[in-house]
Structures are given as structure tokens and as C-alpha cells.
Structure 1
Amino acid sequence: MPSAGLSSRLASPRALQLSALLAMFALYMAQLVSALIPYVPVFVTASVTGIAFDTYLQYRRPAVVALLGKIRFDVTVRQLLRDMLIVVGLLRIDGIDPLGEQAPLLIALLVMYVCHFACQAAAIVVRRDRTLPVVTRNIDTSALRLSAAPPRILARRASHRLLTFSVPATVGLALTAATTDAHWGGIGIGVSIALFGGGALCLATWLRPGRRAAGEREVMAWLDAWLADYQPTVAMYFSGGTASAYQANMWLSTLADVEGKPLIVLRERFMVNKIDATDVPVICFPKVASMFALENSTLKMMLHPANAAKTSQVLRIPTIKHAFINHGESDKLSSCNPYAKAYDEVWVAGPAARDRYRLADVGVEDKDVVEVGRPQLSPIQVGTGAKGPAADKAYTTVLYAPTWEGWDGNPGNTSVVLAGENIVRHLLADDRVRLVYKPHPMTGSQVPAAGAANERIMAMIREANARRSGARPGPEAAAELTRRAAELDRLTSTTFRTSADEMERMMLQGRPDGDRQAAVAEATAAWEAAYWASFPEWEHLIVTDARPAIFTCFNQADVLISDVSSVVSDWLSSEKPYAVANTSGMSEVTFRAAFPTVSAATVLTPDAKGVPDLLASVRGEREDPHAEARASLKEHLLGPSNPPSVDRFNAAVRALCAKADERRVRMAARGGTAGIPAQRSTGDAESTSSESEDSVTA
């Protein structure tokens, strides 16, 4: 039954798209047939309904519009066809002579399209003029003469503009067909010409000399001056897709506390607003040539939380040292990627990762591995959570946080497909369990079966909640959560006009006022407290949003069930019990030997029959066999507690910056030696990067 329900939900969008396409083609057919007969009532109705329906799809059903675009039936073709059929109808209707006395209607219709294309050309020029070579956040850009964006329908929504501005013309021509009076058509087309022409003139005002944005050379000169004034020393470099921003966001608090002048360097324009609230300056370099402005800056080192195709481009800057810090450590192959040998150093949490690279034999030398701990784990509480010992609680909170299926789709990567439903079924069968289910945000992106299993698991949890009952927090708890959420949104979300473009957002996201990051941290803690207080202690939860974060879920849980992933390594900071699902097909002995993070865990088979024993040990009903092993494994994975991870991280920063300084001194000394290349000038860097930009691949 769940599978059938899921299939129907998946089929409904396709059915909707097909229905919309059939309806559109039916309207075109009705317009054509009624124009040839001619039959005026149907002709007028089909013409007006056609553009109304097309406009509705453009604003409300973009998926259908995208499908039409794939078959080369875009909005311009559709509107031209619709107007052509109207002309055919006017030729066939008695009392109307569009080629005689009413010929000005056809001429006016052609003028309307000329104005449309003129408006479109102006929009393209304006968009290109307002696209800067860099995008920034938390940097004062007043010297660049940035300005607010034109209305979105004029500058960036050509399809919406064409349909919306063509409505008066279509309605006017339909009235002419119904009344044989050409004045209606003339009025309608005149209004459309005024809209298109006025739009073009409006856009042209953004191209006036005093309103145009600064040119590329001026922007880059401004950036060089800003870099010289700010004097950055440590940068975090990040490139990736829309769903990968969390990999950078998890390092923001650490970067903000790092010694020196921190900087965030991005490569994709959309990523600028994917980065969470921070006071650290952000610069996005979409092109390699622009990024080489960093070569002559004071920047000494870069931190890399992820490997990306564009990473190889920044590694070519010889004045900067590079450290790979990863976005989490686990026993998976991705945590000892051969690409890591491209960096100057590989920073890991503890001895386990050092051993992992040594055993993997992927070219990373042991001397280049630096143990720095995991400074961002400080919010994780040690012990059994804030509510007291698990044995004394009415409900045992279990956090089930499976990972995703991975790029290779190996069934051993995630427990969701083979074991997830069994794990959840055993947990829900225990009346003293409160389940918090937090799947990886990319679950189902690679293997559809994982997405289907995830949907079935969430359905099981909802059904279990429907069978439970008990006292709930009063309305004041919900009101408090709403208030805290509004405050947090105010601090973390920048409200932009609907028409705001990249330049306008850049203008509004200048230097932050005060310590915004500290305010966000305080507001987040208040929201998290209100969030958990808004639910009764017996209610199972499904957490799929970015908030609450995984570490907050750690502090609420008494035990974790997960897969071989960085979640397990981070959880060990709490020293609380955990279980790992073995869906690899290995025996338990082989599984523990292959994945050191499992050595202090309860191993669950796909049938999840070990869940009751796991719960009994958490509640103190039976001995916890892994208590001592967890403390030992924590130090092996995350390093010693003293000195604190933050101190070790900063020590590593100082050491790598010192290596960058030493290299600069050596290169300066060699500058006058024949045959030895010195540091390139800015012009040389731009030339080199421009020539090779298109050929760089990872």
C-alpha cells in the first residue's frame, strides 16, 4: 500500500504536465479550426483562453513551461503562433479586411514585436552591464556605485514580459473579431506597444553614464585596494552545488575565531547567499582570471572543506599554502581521497585519520598530516543529554540519522534501503522510545529506492504518532517558538525586493553592523530551546529542515543509530552509546575490522533484531559493553581533549602561515637570480589564467 501511494504521488506531477500540454494543444486546435470555418464565438474564446492559460502556466507551473522549452516550443513560438492564428481568423471573418482598410492592424502588430525584441535586447545589455567580475558580502562596496535593479519583469523575465504585455493586443484583436470594429484591435495593440516600448526606455535609463556599474578594471582595482587594506591571512575556499553549502557552513564558527584576518572565497555566484550568517568577508570569483587577484595579496593560506572540480584552479597560486580540512571524517573511502595529496597539508581530527591515510596508501605522506581535532564539535554535550540519565527518563530518545547512498550507489553506504524500515519498526514497537529521524538531505538523489524507503519510513513515523496521545505543551510554547523563529529569521535572512538582482543584493549585504554572528548564535540557542519545548516528550519527530542542526539533535538523544559516516565520529564526542547498521554483506568481525569507528558500537544487521538489546543497555537494564571503548575511541578519532581543539587548530594555522612567509622570503631573495621565476605580477597572472581558463579540468 505505501508503494502504491508513493507511485501515485510521483505520477501526479507527470499527469498534471500531460494534462496541461493536452489542454494547450486543444486550445490551439480550437483556435485554428474556428479561424478556418470561421466560427467567431469559439475563435474568440480559444484566443483569449489560450493566452490566459499560457500566462497561468508561466507564473504558476514552471515545470510545464520548461518541458515545452525542451521540445523547442518556447514562449516566443507559442505567442507568434497564437497571433498568426488570430490573423488567419481575421482574414476569414466577414466584415473584416486586415489587408485593406484595416491593414494598419497588421503593421501595428509587427511594430509590437519590434518593440518586444528591442525591450529584450535592452534587458540583455542591462543584465550584462550589471554582472560584475566578483560578488561580495560583508564588504563595503559604496565606491563601486552599485544601484538597485530594474523591475524583474523587464530585466530578467522575458517570457513573463512577452505574455503579460501581449494580453491587451490579443484581447483587442479578439474584440475586433467579435465586433468587426478595428478600433478595438488598434487600442489593444497600442497599449501593448506602449508597454514594450516603455519597458525598453525604462531599461535604457540604467545605461546612462551616471547610472552604469563600474567596469571590470575599476572593480578589480577596487578589490586590490580592499585586499591591501584588509590584509587577509587565512581564507576558506569553497566550490560546489546548491545542496553542498552545509560543507562550508559547518566551518564558519571556526573560521570566525581563527587567528588572523579570515576570508571566504567562493566560485559560484549562487553560493554567496547559501553561506549562513557570518561576519567574515565573502568574495566570489566566478572566473579564474579574477581569482588571481589573490596572488598578490597578503593571503597566506587556504582551508578546503571539500574537493571540487575548481579546486585545481586555486592550487596554481604559488604564494598561498593549502590545507584540506574536509567536511567530516568517516571510515568511507571518501575520507582518504587520493586528491588530498594535491594540498600542502591534510588536517585531520586525530590519530585514526592519520592511520587511515597511511593504510590507504594514496600518496599522502605522513609528514603532511596534521592532527587538529574538530573545533566545531564544542556545542556537543558530554554524557546522557540535558534531561538526566536515560534510565530515569520516561522515554528513551533515539536519533536515527542515516547517511545517503553516495555517488556510487553502493547498498552498503546507507541503511535506509535494506535496514531502515526494520530499524524504525523495532523502535516504534517500544512504547518507551521517542524517535527523532533525521535523514541525510541528499537521500534519494542517487538511488530512487532510497528515496522511496525514506518516504515509507516517514509514513510509519506519522502513523505511530497518530496512535499516541498525551499532554501537549500549551499555546504559549508554540507562540514562543514563533517569536524565536521570527527573531532568528530576521538575523539570518536578508530581505530583498522581488526584483533585486545580484548587484542590488551585493549593495545591501555590505559590512555588517556589530557582532552579527554572536547575535545569531544566541538567537539560535534560544530557538532550539523553544523548538524542543514545543513538542511533548512522547512525540516522534521527523527533522528534514536545516534547523534544528544535527548537533542539537545529539544533545537531545540518548543513543544514535547511523551508518558508517562522519555523524558517528562526531557523535563520539558525546561518549553516549551508538549503533551502526551493517548492510555491506560483511560478517560483523570483518565489518568492525574494516571500519574502526564501529569498534565501540553495537552492530545491527539488516533485520535490526539487536535494537531491543541496544535499548536495554542504554536504560541500564543490562550492562553497556562498549562504555570504556567509546572513551578510548573518542580520543583515537578526535584527538586529546587538552589542549583544546581550537588551540590546536590555531597552532596549525600559525605553522602553515609561517611556511608561506618563509617561501615568500626565499622567492624574494631569488628574484634577481637569472633563470629562477619570481612571483608574477598582476598582469601576468591575469594573462596566464585567461589563456588557460577554458582548458582547466579537475
Structure 2
Amino acid sequence: MASVGRRRASPRPSGRPLLAKGLTAAVLAGAFVAQAAGALLPNVPLLLAATAVSLAVEGVLFRWQPDMLPLLAKSHADITVRHVLRDLLLVVGLLRLGEHDREAQFAWPVAGLLVFYALHCAIQAVSVLVRRTRTLPVLTRNVDASALRLSTAPAALLRHPGPRLLLLGLPTTAGLVTAAVTREPLPAAAGTAVSGVLAAAGLGALLVRLLPSRRPAGEQEVLDWFDAWLADYRPTVGLYFSGGVSSVYQADMWLETMSRLDGRPVVILRERFMVARIAPTDIPVVCLPKVSTLMRLEHSTLRVLIHPSNSGKTSQVLRIPTIKHAFVNHGESDKLSSCNPYAKAYDEVWVAGPEARERYARAAVGIEDKDVVEIGRPQLDAVRPRSGPPAADARTTVLYAPTWEGWDGNPGNTSVVEAGENLVRALLADPGVRLLYKPHPLTGSVEPAAGAADRRIRELIRAANRERPATPAEPARSVSELDRLTAELDRLTAELDRLTAAGVREGADQVERMLAQSAPPPGRAEAVAKATAAWEEAYWATLPQDEHQVVTGVRPALYACFNIADLLISDVSSVISDFLASGKPYAVANTSGLSEDAFRAAFPTVAAATVLTPDASGVPALLDAVRHPEKDELADTRAELKLRLLGPDEPTSQERCNTALRDLSTTALNHRARGEQPEARQPRPQRLAEDFLPGPRRASGAGTEADAEVSSSVTPPSRSAPPV
């Protein structure tokens, strides 16, 4: 993004988290020093107090500061070392407290302690073996995998060494502490015996998992099963995604569109953890972590892969010659990321409207115009059009949804740092405004200054809610009515959690999830959509109409905020392009350092926006234009820009997307036909039609007459841009 803005020195991150971690580490170290002193002096009260403090700090670490555990492990002070040291100091204290002629009586507790730790190591080794047998080369959702002998996961306590050692070792520690008080070896021996028995039972439970009848299918058996599933389901179009937890929304936004495409869709993931993160869908989901497994798609009926994002692993699937690839992106804006040169690696680039086509032409990154296909934005069906200005007696709902700082660190990427607080103060100063603040989930991930500004904005909103006066304009709601609405929201939240969890218990591993999510109940996706709509309605109904909100998390979604808002304030990002579907006014904060004219010229999506300066001086006039449509001079410009950015309303975006899919599928069919030997091609034209072209989605792999009709076309239909 062009900018003459000055780079700022990033302030140091807040010292509070570091102070808390340092304090915890200091208390833990001090407890061990005090325990050593109590053992060597010997001093029973000091030994007991230090041991109690040490155990309490362990609880704090696992409950509130889990990010400290890897740091301690890197310092060779992991949970095993700490636990052994704690018990060792107790044994030293016992020996120092005991009389010389009774030291031999403590040999049995010491021997029991050694046996317990040996069993702990054995449990860890066997748990690793069990985990490897349960690490399958293919993971699925919404696919019947009962043939793979899937089973529930072992108890979480047996799979995690830290909590396991703490819990199973508690009898030993308690016995040693009691022995230090009573100066008798029996409590220590009893404690170590209990810990040993518990550890032996856990080891036995894991060993049973290694029996052939209890293990899931082996690697080759799973691969053979996967090949058979591909041959039976015969997918025709796939959504390919690879990324981290924070980027899963990029795939989620295309799931509904995929479910409405012609053909038999499938979702292809590359990261194992993403199988549990992807949003609820009835589409088969397949995770193929290894490249060698991914290459098995080459011999499948899959003809088109749709890519909502670029990633390092994208290059691996692009090597499959039998599949055509379309880049759809997860949003369009004037940023350089929306015309990335990597896009020329795909066969086609599917964009929303003419502006994106011209953006690629202006960028001159090697994308030929013939490879750009305009399909609109199918996801925007959820955005309701504007019904009119806010009522005279109602508050003006303003959505401030800034983007994040981006990877290049350009100050003009996000308004949070330069203008965020000024914008929020100006909005909060208007008593007729209700503010919804929805920051990008990656805010602060690159520049600490953005994270600090985000926290200050949230505090401004909380302070405004505390100080806001009572509003007589809002109809008074009885306590019973509010209780009813809250109860309904709680019920819908539980219903959504039940539907999205799909019966997966907490602590389930990937194989157990695969088992629990093998066959979604019919209509689950529709039930989730219906419950989500009801939840959003109940959510807004329970909130006071004059209360400002910080909106984070999965629910409510961004488009739900669009439908509530009368005005959007954002940055140069795909948010403003999507918001144009509503026809409502929007504003863009200019923190690039460019003049307003240069800013509008550099970013075409700003053409219909009110441009706000970092000092937010234009906010009062902007609000006045929203409340009085006769002062809104940009309404016609918004309608024209919507057409340029999103394309025409007819045919619908979903129809144009299906047309693009059919065209690219036909290209893939012709490419495969040319690649086969003539003798292999001639006897099976019907089979080509069944395998290579998308038809109506169905559970089995049987072809249809419609497939054969489409295959009769040798020349792909024209991919010219739809009329604008």
C-alpha cells in the first residue's frame, strides 16, 4: 500500500504479564530454596510450609500461567525435575530428622519412590506408543470411518505427563510430609505404595490399548480405505485450506457457498488441529497432512480446487496436474495482498467484480485478463440491505471495525494506533450514538503498539458504559422480561454448543473426534444456521439499547454486526467492500499520511466513503449525514461502487460461481482426456462424464445423465466478464 507515513517506534509491551511471570518464578525458586533449608537444618515447619507453597505454585502454573511451562522446560526445570526435587528434599529431611539407628526403616519408602518414578517413565513411553498407533495418515469429518476400528481416547490424565505426575504423586508427597511430622516411616511407605498402585493401574490401561484388537487400522489399511472412499464418493470440487488457528475464518466463510455448489464437494485440510477448528458443515472434511497422501488426489475424480488463501503448502497441491485451481481469496480490498503475484500460480482467479479485475491489471503481477472470472461474493447473501435512516428517537449504531497492522508494518494499514482512540472518543461524546467495536482478531500480533491501543480503546468503552446516564427514551423492560430473554439466550447458546460440538467430549483426541463426527445428523448444517440466526436475534435483544459493546469471538459474526449498524467506520480492507452490499454509509480513516485526494486516488474502494482524519474532526458531520439522508451526498456513488466491487445482482453470485465452476470443470475434463492414451480413452466416454464433471451432490458415486450431457461439449463456454 502506497504511503508516505512515518514509521513509529513501537513501545515496549506492557510489563504486567512479565512481572507476574517473574514473580511466579521467584516464588517457586524461593520455595525450593526454603524447602532445601528446612530439610538440611532440619526444620519441620519450614519444610512443610515450603512444600505447600511449591505445590500451590504448581497449581497456579497449570491453571493460570500455562505459557510458563515451556519456558521452565527449556531451562531443564520441567514438571518431572521439579517433582523429583520436591520429593528428594522431603526424603533428605526425613533422614536428617530420624535417628541413626532408624535410618534403615526409611529404605522402603525410598524404594517405593523409585518404583513410582520408574512406572511414571514407563507410562510416558507407552503413552507415546499409543499416540503413534492413533496418529492416522488421514483424518476425516462427516465420513463413515467405522471400518478403521476407531475407539475413544485414553483418559486425558494418562496422556499428559504434567498433570499425571502431580496427581498420582500426591499420595507420595502427602505421605512424606506426614512422615516428617510424625517421624515415622509408615506414612511415607503407605503414600508411595498408593502412588505405585495408581501408576501400575494406569500403565495397564495403556498396555491394553496396544493389543491388535484395540488398535486402530494401520497406515496402509487407512490409505486403502481412503482410496476406496474417494472412488465411492467421487468428489468433483474441493475447498483447499492450510493455515493457523487465527486464520480459520478464511475457510469458514466459504463453507456455505461450497454446500450450494453443483457437484460433490469436499474440504481438504492440511493441519490436523484444523479438523476440530473448522466450522460446522455437512460437507465431507478430509485432512491430508503428508504430501505423499495428498498426491493420491491425482487419481481421484476431483477436478477443481478452490483456494481462499495462500500458504506455503499451497505449492504442494498445485503440482497435481489433473486438478484445476481457482483462487477466490477470503476478501478483497485495495491492499497489495488482494493482487498478490502468487495468484498467477492458479489456473483462474475468481473475483467479485470489475474493480478487482482492473486491480490485477493495474498491479501488473502477471495475471492475464482471460484468467480472471467475476463471480461476485456469495457470502453476502446474509447482509440485509438498508431499510432507511435510524429512527428519530433511536440511537445511531456505529460499527468501528478496524483491520490489523499487517505483515509489512505500514502505519497506514490500521487506524487503531493513529486514530482509534480519537475516533472512539468522538463517537462516545455523542449521546445519541451506540458504539460497536469489533477489532480484527490479529490486532497486536505484529505491532505491540496496536495491541496496546486496542486495550485502551476497550477501556474507554467500559468507562463510557459505567458513566452513561439513564436513557428514558429506551422502553423500560421488566425484570421478568429481561430474565426471559437471558434464559432464551442461554438456551440457544447451549443448543449451538451442542450442535457445533457434535457429541465430542472434552479431552477427546483426533481419532475419537473422527469417530464421533463420522456421520452428521441429517440437516445439521441447516439446524446450525437456524440456531445461529435465533441466537443473534436473542443476543441483540438482551443488550441495553444504549450500551456500547466490544464484540469479539466467533459470535456474533461480522455480517450480523453489519445488519445492526447504521454506519461503518473502518480501514482500507475487505470489510468496506462487503459492507457496500448493505447500501449503508461508511467512512474510512486515513492514517496513511496522504492527502484526501491522493488517498481516494490510491484506493478506489474509498470513492464512496467519508474520509476521516486521525483527529476524528469529521465525526459530527458524518453522524449528521447518517441521521438526515438528505445530507448524504454519497448515496448514488455507493450504489455505483457496489456494482463495480461486487458485480450485478442478476444473475446471483451463487449462480455465477456455479457457472465458473462448470467452465473450469470442463477445462479439467478436456485436459485429462488429452493426457490419456487414445486406447484408454476410446472405450470409456461415459465413465469420463461420470467422473470428471460436477453433478448434483449425492451420497453415492453413481453418475447421472446430466453429467453425460455436459460432457458432450468439447469447447469450454466463454468466460467473459458478466455485463455491468
TM, length-normalised to structure 1: 0.91
Aligned to 1:402: 402
Distance in 2 between residues matched to 1:48 and 1:428, nearest whole Å: 49
Q: Aligned in 2, Cα 1:640/1:101: closer, same or farther, shift over 3 Å? A: closer
Q: Secondary structure at the match of 2:631?
A: coil
- Closer, same or farther in 2 for the Cα pair 1:594/1:163, shift >3 Å? same
Q: 2-side partners of 1:446 and 1:562: how far apart?
A: 19
Partner of 1:528: 536
Q: 1:101 to 1:434 in 2, by over 3 A?
A: closer
Of residues 381, 384, 403 in structure 1, which corresponds to 2:384?
A: 381
The answer for the alignment partner of 2:420 in structure 1 is 420
- Name the counterpart of 1:38: 42
Contact 1:349/1:638, CA 8 A, preserved across alignment:
yes
Residue 258 (structure 1) shift: 0.5
Q: Map of 1:560-571 to 2, 5 A cutoff?
A: 560-571=568-579
Shift of 1:524: 1.3
- 2:278 aligned residue (262, 275, 279): 275
Query: Which amino acid counterpart does residue 200 of structure 2 have in structure 1?
Result: G
Q: Please tell me whether the aligned partners of residues 90 and 96 of structure 1 are also in contact (alpha carbons under 8 angstroms).
A: no
Contact kept in structure 2, 1:98 and 1:106, CA below 8 Å: no
In structure 2, relative to structure 1, the CA distance for the partners of 1:257 and 1:172 (3 Å cut) is same
Q: Which of 46, 50, 53 is equivalent to 2:54?
A: 50
Q: Please name the residue that 1:689 is paired with.
A: none
Alignment of 1:139-150 (within 5 A): 139-150=143-154
Q: What residue in structure 2 maps to residue 677 of structure 1?
A: none
Worse-superposed segment, 284-293 or 223-232: 284-293
Which residue matches 2:254? 251
Asked if structure 2 preserves the Cα contact closer than 8 Å seen for 1:98 and 1:105, the reply is no
Aligned ranges 1:286-301 → 2 under 5 Å: 286-301=289-304
- Paired position in structure 2 for 1:433: 433
Amino acid at match of 1:360: A
2:140 to 131, 136, 140: 136
CA distance in 1 between counterparts of 2:197 and 2:91 reads 21
1:89 correspondence with 2:89:
no
Question: Does the CA contact (< 8 Å) of 2:422 and 2:614 recur in 1?
Answer: yes
Of 68, 76, 81, which aligns to 1:64?
A: 68
How far apart are the structure 1 equivalents of 2:530 and 2:498?
13
Give the count of matched residue pairs.
663
Whether 1:450 and 2:450 are equivalent positions in the alignment is yes
Q: 2:716: which partner in 1?
A: none
Partners of 1:305 and 1:326 within 8 A in 2: yes
Aligned residues of 1:350 and 1:373 also touching (Cα < 8 A): yes
**What are the within-5 Å matches in structure 2 for residues 222-261 of structure 1?**
222-261=225-264
Per-residue deviation at 1:426? Answer: 1.8
Aligned to 1:195: 198
Per-residue Cα deviation, 1:569-611 (whole angstroms, up to 9, x for no partner): 1111112211111110011111111101011111111112111
Change (3 A) 1:381 1:497: closer
1:281 CA displacement: 0.5
Percent identity, aligned pairs only, is 56
For the 8 Å contact 2:389–2:626, the answer to whether it is kept is: no
The answer (yes or no) to whether the contact 1:83–1:170 under 8 Å persists in 2 is yes
Cα distance 1:668–1:151, how it changes in 2: closer, same or farther (>3 A)?
Answer: same
User: Could you tell me how far 1:493 is from its partner in structure 2?
Assistant: 2.6
Which letter does structure 2 place at the counterpart of 1:636? R
Of 603, 607, 610, the match for 1:602:
610
- The one of 155, 177, 180 equivalent to 2:180 is 177
Matches within 5 A, 1:106-117: 106-117=110-121
2:213 aligns with one of 210, 214, 223: 210
Q: How does 1:550-561 map to 2 (within 5 A)?
A: 550-561=558-569
Question: 1:147: Cα distance to partner?
Answer: 0.4
- Confirm or deny: 8 A CA contact 1:51 1:167 kept in the other structure: no
Cα distance, 1:94 vs. partner? 3.4
Separation in structure 1 between the aligned mates of residue 52 and residue 413 of structure 2, nearest angstrom: 54
8 Å Cα contact 2:24-2:57 kept in structure 1: no
What do residues 53-99 of structure 1 show as CA deviations (whole Å, max 9, x unaligned)? 43553345423333322322111111222233233333323325686
Deviation at residue 9 of structure 1 after TM alignment: 11
Alignment of 1:300-339 (within 5 A): 300-339=303-342
Could you list the runs of 5+ residues in structure 1 that have no partner in the other structure? Answer: 1-6, 674-698
1:658–1:47 CA distance, 2 compared to 1 (3 A): same
> Does the aligned pair in 2 maintain the 1:135–1:285 contact within 8 Å?
yes
Residues 259 and 283, structure 2, Cα contact 8 Å, conserved in 1 = yes
Structure 1 residues 610 and 102: CA distance shift in structure 2, 3 A: closer
Q: For each residue in 1:402-447, what CA deviation from the matched residue of structure 2 results, as whole angstroms up to 9, or x when unmatched?
A: 1111111211011111111221222222222222221111111111
TM-score when normalising by structure 2? 0.88
Q: Tell whether the 8 Å contact from 1:436 to 1:543 is kept in structure 2 after alignment.
A: yes
Deviation at 1:8, TM superposition (A): 13
Alignment check: 8 A CA contact 2:152 2:512 kept: yes
1:367 equivalent to 2:370? Answer yes
Which secondary structure does the structure 2 equivalent of 1:340 belong to?
Answer: helix
* Preserved CA contact (<8 Å) 1:102 1:182: yes
**In 2, Cα distance between equivalents of 1:672 and 1:69:** 60
* Partner of residue 542, structure 1: 550
Alpha-carbon distance in structure 2 between the residues aligned to 1:111 and 1:486: 46
CA distance in 1, matches of 2:177, 2:624: 76
Which digits, 9 at most, give the CA deviation of each residue in 1:71-128, with x for residues without a partner? 2211111122223323333332332568645433333322222111111111111111
Structure 1 residues 226-235 or 38-47, which shifts more?
38-47
After superposition, the CA RMSD in angstroms is 2.1
Residue 4 (structure 1) aligns with? none
1:461/1:176 CA distance change after superposition, 3 Å? closer
Q: Does structure 2 retain, via aligned residues, the 8 Å contact 1:406–1:413?
A: yes
Work out the CA distance in 1 between the residues paired with 2:56 and 2:397: 53
